[in-house]
Amino acid sequence: MQSLLRLPALATPDGRAPCVLLPDWPAIAGVRALFTTRQGGYSAAPCDSWNLGEHVQDEPRHVQANRDLLHAVIGQLHAPAPAHTQPRPAPQPHYLQQIHGCDVWALEGGAPGSAAALPQADAVWTASPGQVCTILVADCLPVLWAHRQAPVVAATHAGWRGLAGQDGGGVLEHTFAAFAQAVRRWLQAHNRPDADADERAIARHTQVWLGPCIGPQAFEVGDEVRQAFAAHAPAQHVTTQHVTIQRATAQSSEDWGDIPLWRPSPQHPQRWLAHLPGLARQRLAQLGITQVYGNDGTRPWCTFSQETLFFSHRRDSARLGRTGRMAACIWLE
């Protein structure tokens, strides 16, 4: 599991301190990232307590207070301004209307004026400092992207529909296409020798972090989901049912060998236990991205299993009718 950071200085009046997950990946100068947990914040059950979703029938004033808290947390993690200069405002999170699709939004400064004006997209990239790419999840896979040479970052909401996509092009493929184009523009604008790099070359200098999601021990799906991946997978992976997982951190890596992407449900015939982070790793490998960190499919990463730490739509909606949302954020200083 990654580093959990608790911030008691930002605790609510009743003592609930916000707790965030910090990606354990190689540091890139000027890049910051975090993943919120459910701990901290103002919401009452069943959205207790750091719910950031406006669409889950939570009290609007609580959601706004929770979003203000996220802004404050980002301010705590943001690098201070150089000595003898004006203090810099905390970077501002920018939210999306997520629709389980493949559209990608370019965040180039300025925020939409209202919730109705939020872009309908499931991924966002930026090359602008101080703009926080933000996506919300509660079982779907959050994916954060950063480039080691060009100041470009991105965030993706990858549920199974967006991940499967159409004709071999899902939300990860669409995100990387936009991300690589932005990297290339920056390299060209700065007269870098690799300004004409193709996507495979850009992929070699791209690192990705997979955040918590519903794990393979809990994500039971029908055969139509497995068939959707088989029908729309990149050509050479149509029949591949395993993925090689390398458990990597900023300090080390360990090859875990081949992990099954689909296992028959032990309880329900013709249903499957799907390995969502493994399916994402398979698609990333097809893009040429091998520097993948974070979620390896083990229980500590499972939103369904870790009830005190994470919201889970599948776990909580069945019992409680609704649940909250967590945020994955990445930005440039």
pLDDT tens, the chain, 333 aa long: 568 999 999 999 999 999 999 999 999 999 999 999 999 999 999 999 999 999 999 999 999 999 999 999 999 998 776 766 777 789 999 999 999 999 999 998 665 544 557 899 999 999 999 999 999 999 999 999 999 999 999 999 999 999 999 887 999 999 999 999 999 999 999 999 988 899 999 999 999 999 999 999 999 999 999 999 988 776 554 445 778 777 778 777 777 678 899 999 999 999 999 999 999 999 999 999 999 999 999 999 999 999 999 999 999 998 999 999 999 999 999
DSSP string, 161-201: HHHH-BTTB-HHHHHHHHHHHHHHHHHHHTT-TTTT--HHH
Give me 168's structure tokens: 């071999």
pTM across the whole model: 0.94
Domains and CATH numbers, the chain: 3-80+89-332 (3.60.140.10)
- In order of 124, 167, 319, the CA distances from 145 in angstroms are 10, 23, 34
Partnered with residue 166 across adjacent β-strands are: 169
All residues at 6 or more sequence positions from 255 whose CB lies less than 8 Å from its CB, including other chains = 244, 245, 246, 247
> Is 43 exposed, middle or buried, given 0-12, 13-18 or 19+ CB atoms closer than 10 A?
buried
Dist. CA 51–CA 201, nearest whole Å: 39
Phi, psi (rounded to 5 degrees) for 153: -135, 165
CA 105 from centre of chain: 15
Phi, psi (rounded to 5 degrees) for 305: -80, -35
Dist. CA 255–CA 245, nearest whole Å: 6
Say if residues 10 and 18 touch (Cβ distance below 8 Å): yes
- In order of 8, 11, 133, 244, 333, the CA distances from 91 in angstroms are 20, 20, 10, 37, 8
All residues at 6 or more sequence positions from 7 whose CB lies less than 8 Å from its CB, including other chains = 17, 18, 19, 20, 40, 73, 76
Dist. CA 83–CA 34, nearest whole Å: 26
Give me 68's structure tokens: 């203000």
Q: Count CB atoms within 10 A of the CB of residue 278.
A: 23
Say if residues 142 and 333 touch (Cβ distance below 8 Å): no
Q: Extract the runs of DSSP E, i.e. beta strands, from the chain.
A: 3-6, 19-22, 31-36, 92-94, 104-106, 123-126, 131-137, 141-147, 153-158, 206-210, 220-222, 242-248, 253-260, 262-264, 271-274, 291-294, 326-332
Predicted local distance difference test score (pLDDT) of residue 3: 85
